[in-house]
Every structure is written in structure tokens, then in C-alpha cells.
Amino acid sequence: MDSYKQCPNCGRQFPVTDIFCDNCGCQLDLIAPEQAQPPQQPFVLPTQQPPAQATTVYAEKPKKTGVLIGLLVAILLVLAAMIVLGFFLIHQLNQNDTTNHTSELAAVAQTETTEMAAETEPPAAETAAPEAEKETVVSVVTVIEQVTVPQTDSPSVYAVPAPEPDQQPAGKTYQAFVDACTWADAKQKCEAAGGHLAYITSDEDWNQAISVLSGTGLRYVWLGGSTYISNDGSTITASWLNGSNLSYIDNARHWYPNEPSGWDNSSPEHTMEPYILLWYVDDYWSLNDTSNDILKYYKPERIGYLCEFD
């Protein structure tokens, strides 16, 4: 663009040759051509820094040690529960087998306690015994013998009264012996005296045997019978030594409840109980099969045997 003059008052433009403004008379100013302006740099907004990328912090995974320990504890608890359950089932299976023997011992303990209490009381006046109605003569014979019974502290020696002279009447006779011995010894002693361990095969025999034992103080008396268990353990057979069965005892219900059992299921060894015993428990006489362990459990003066002489 060429140079020109411009009125400073009114702003009108004039050629460079004019000096004064034709409009207002003011002196014109020379206006030089515009200098090329350097190219204006486009305005650039300050570049925003991208926001700092958030750093994801991952929590450290818990170690598996706690989980393993918990799993191990759970396994141990399950095993312990299974073991306890197994013992419980075994106990339940054996409980029925041991009930009989446990009840016997409890009954015996009760009987012993009752008898001890009775011994401390003054004896009542004896009444005259009724006249015997049967011809069978009954006598009580004791053996002169010192029986040493094992004790926990020191042994005690029990002396039993001397027997009466042997006066066996005609017919069947029972004789009771106070003697803390085994069943085999009792059998041998009866046979050596000319008799045998007693058989009870009728009401008459039962009444006579109980009559003989009355007043002797005996509570556990060996008889001439034994029991046998079948090979599979399912059958128990009881018989007298002469081979006859115990049908009278079975029919008259003279067995102690749940007897005969054949063995002692409460002992770890399952001790066999092949010998027949007449005992006084729960205030009445009954039959039981047992082992020779009675020598450990009962008072020696309460143990004996019943011989039969024909």
C-alpha cells in the first residue's frame, strides 16, 4: 500500500502532495505504508500434560499358609470324630455283652452290703424249725482245712469247723461244705468222700438243697454241672456231670436273669465260665455259670460246695 496523508482531526485521507485538510483545514499527517507485520504465530494453548496415570497398587495375595493350616485342622477334626464314633459303636456292641456280668457284680455288691449291715445287728431269737416232711436226711458238713486266700496286703487264714462223723442215711443226701476252693477241687473232694457234686433235678431236690444251705452262711456254692459253648458261639448247653440236662432248672426258672452266659464278656480276656454255681444274690437263690474267679471276689467263708450221696 502507498503512502498517504490523513487529517488528524477528521480522519479523511489525502494524497501525499496535499498539506491541509479540505474539510477542516487541519494540517495533514503523513502516513507511511504499513510495515509488513511478521506473520503472527498462531496462539497455541499450553499443552496440557496428560494426567498422571493412576498406578494400580495390587494388594499382596495372602499367603496360602493359613488356608493349609485350616484344612489340616479340619482333616484332623474329621479323623478324631471318626475315631470317637468308632469307639462308640464298639462300646455299644460290647455293652449288651457286658451288661449281664456288670449286673451280677452290682447285685453281689448289694447283697454283700446288706449282709454286712445285718451282721452288725443283734441276732433275732431263733424259731423252732418245722418238722421235715420227707424221709431224706439232710446234714451240713464242714471241712477242717486252712484256706489261705490271697489278699492285697497280707494273707489271712480262715479255719472252718470240723465235720461230724460220717453218718449217711439211706436215700439221697445233700451235705454242704464251707470251703473256699475251685470247682475242680470241690468235685475231687466230693468224689473222695464217696459222693459227687450235687445235681438238682426236681422241686424236692431244690427244696432240700436250700434247706441244707440255710444257716451255713454260704452264698456261693459249687454244684455238679457245667456249660459248653458251641464253636460258632451261638449256643450254650448246660448239663449235669452225669450227662442229664438242666430242663428242670430251665422250666422252674431257677437261673439268674440272663444266665447262663458261657463267658465273662466284661473281661478283656473274655474268660470262660464253664462251672455252675448256686448263689444267693438279690435275696434269693439262683443258678449262675462262672469261672474260678469267685475266689478273688467273694469272702472265703461264703464259698463252699454241695455234695450229693446216694
Number of domains observed in the structure of the chain? 2
* Residue 17: domain span: 1-34
- The separation between the first and the last C-alpha atoms of the chain, rounded to the nearest angstrom, is 174
Whether residue 292 sits in one domain with residue 144: yes
Nearest to 141 by CA among 208, 191, 190: 190
pLDDT at 177: 96
Backbone angles phi, psi at 110, to 5 degrees: -65, -40
Type and span of the H or E element at 167: none
User: What share of the chain in percent tops pLDDT 90?
Assistant: 35
Give domain status of residue 95, yes or no: no
What SS3 class is residue 305?
strand
Strands 303-309, 220-229: pairing is: parallel
Q: Over 60: is that where the pLDDT of 131 sits?
A: no
Evaluate whether residue 3 is within a structural domain. yes
CA 108, CA 282: separation in Å to the nearest integer? 7
Q: Residues 264-295: pLDDT tens digits?
A: 877 777 788 999 999 999 999 999 999 987 88
Q: Are 286 and 202 in contact (CB under 8 A)?
A: no
Q: Is residue 69 one of the residues assigned to a domain?
A: no
Does 58 fall in a domain?
no
228: domain CATH number? 3.10.100.10
Same domain for 304 and 163:
yes
Assign 4 a pLDDT band (cuts: 50, 70, 90). Answer: confident
- Asked whether residue 25 is domain-assigned, the answer is yes
Nearest-angstrom CA–CA distance, 68 and 66: 5
Residue 4 lies in a domain: yes
Query: What is the rounded distance in angstroms from the CA atom of residue 222 to the CA atom of residue 240?
Result: 12
Per-residue pLDDT at 111: 60
Residue identified by cell 449262675 is: 288
The answer as to whether 181 is a domain residue is yes
With respect to residue 19, please indicate whether it lies within any of the assigned structural domains: yes
The pTM assigned to this predicted structure is 0.51
Same domain, 21 and 167: no
Q: Which helix (H) or strand (E) holds 299?
A: none
- Which amino acid is present at 145? E
